[in-house]
Amino acid sequence: MNENEKLYGSEQNNDTAENNLPDNTAEDALVTENALAAEAPVAENAPVTEDVPETVAPVEEKKYYIPPHDDGWQPYDPSRRYTNNWSASDKKKGFRGKKLLIVGLVTAGTVLFFTILLGLVLLLKDLEIPGLFPDDIFPEVSDEVSSGGGEVSRNEDASAPDGETSLIPTDNPDLNMNITDYDKITTAYTELYEKCSGSCVSVICTFDKSSGYTLGSGFVLSEDGYIATNHHVIEDADNITVQFYDGTEYDATLIGSDSITDLAVLRIEAKGLVPAELGNSDKVSVGEPVVAIGTPYDITLKGTMTTGVVSGLAREVECTDDYGNVVKTMTLIQTDASINPGNSGGPLFNMNGQVIGINTLKLMNEYEGLGFSIPIPDAIEVFEILVKYGELPDYSDTDFVKTSPKLHITVMSVSDARNSVEYGRYISKDAPEGVYVIEVTPGTAIYEAGLEIYDIITEFNGVVLEDRDDLAAELAKCSAGQQVTIKVYHRGEYKTLTFKLDKAG
């Protein structure tokens, strides 16, 4: 037994034992101990020794960390059982973890149970055992679902042959498109291109003073070599070449062109050409499929076909000059078929392979998908005049283009002229109010009619003018080529001038 056991073990145990004995028992134990000592023999000649206290080296007491218990810090005794005294929060954490584990097991078991149950029910349903399930538990799902109040075929159209899936779901059998219909449309585009591409051409223009060239499109008007295109394609060109998509080239002669209608007619020395079939754009409807064929961007892209629909009819498009002034307003067909630089002058076909328009422009900058074509009936009227006269003589507006008029004069109000140092001395005190003319462009219609500088225009088509704003307002009501009358105060006398308005630009 070690020193610690002596200190805390034996003494504690002996004290405990003695304390637990009855009083008489303790006295008997003391007597018995004395008797035994008396009876023990003593050896002869044995040396007599005295009890000397034994000197013991102090032993460093070792302390062991024991989890908190009722008795505080104590040396570790493996024979003792200490009371656990952990905090309530530690106990709650342990309980929470057990609770989450139980909840997770219950949830997983529930999900597994219902999954197995659902699978079993579906299996029994597939077996189609008579009378096992009421009819209203599994109602038949219709292939048609409501959309916007109408029935839409989701899987197969009733009018389509067996095994053909509807590509455009609708309750209208006339509008259903199945695989066979799709093949028919593809074939229609292919056949249309084969029919029409032989009548389409590229127009290449070169210039004597430049190595560059311009590129456009066109189509055959007649079998003896007349070709239609745009005016802006061939404008100022010194040499014009027409190239068919098979590579055949012809030198072309300009027969006539007009900048306002933006149309031109060429001619090549060829016979037996296949002219494009002309349609009637007056019967075209919005949404009708159309095809554009031309040469966009580069000659290597000749014969490019793009598809789209008619997006709008009778669109009024204002065309401006380099200064932003509106020079004309054109009434055109709008389409979303791709029209790019180089497509100008090319034909716009309907699905019958008939030309319904001449592609002429595309709105640039922030707009995309906006192409415009000149209606073919209006274009044919211009072509006939150009073939006969080479230009549009005595020009007046047509059904599809209205040009802005221009007087080609510089004016100011009479009141402003009176106060100016430069012109005030030329105005008499009895001169009327109106529009004071300070410049007239030679060769213009109003110049030929007799208007001179320092004249005062007092009336325009019978309307009295007070200043230059009144003149601008009345001019805006007219169009180029229209005949007008003005009243002029000239050197103390009034005179009337009649002429046709020039076109702007």
Catalytic center residues: 232, 262, 344
Which amino acid is located at 393 in the chain? P
CA within 13 Å, CB half, 369:
6
Cα–chain-centroid distance for residue 57?
96
Distance CA 312, CA 293 (A): 19
Q: CB of 502 within 8 A of CB of 480?
A: yes
For 200, the enclosing helix (H) or strand (E) is: strand 200-207
DSSP bridge pairs for 249: 243
Chain centre distance of CA 134? 51
End-to-end C-alpha distance for the chain, whole angstroms: 128
Going through 281-395 in order, the beta strands assigned E by DSSP cover 289-294, 304-320, 326-335, 347-350, 354-362, 371-375
Contact 359, 229 (CB under 8 A): no
Q: Which residues make Cβ contacts (< 8 Å) with residue 178, sequence separation at least 6?
A: 157, 160, 161, 164, 165, 166, 167
What is the Cβ-side half-sphere exposure of residue 103, based on CA atoms within 13 angstroms? 6
Residue 417 CB neighbours (<10 A): 21
CA dist 286 to 158, 312, 336, 399, Å? 28, 6, 11, 20
The closest alpha carbon to 400, from 358, 370, 347, belongs to: 358
| Beta strand pairing call for 289-294 and 263-268 | unpaired
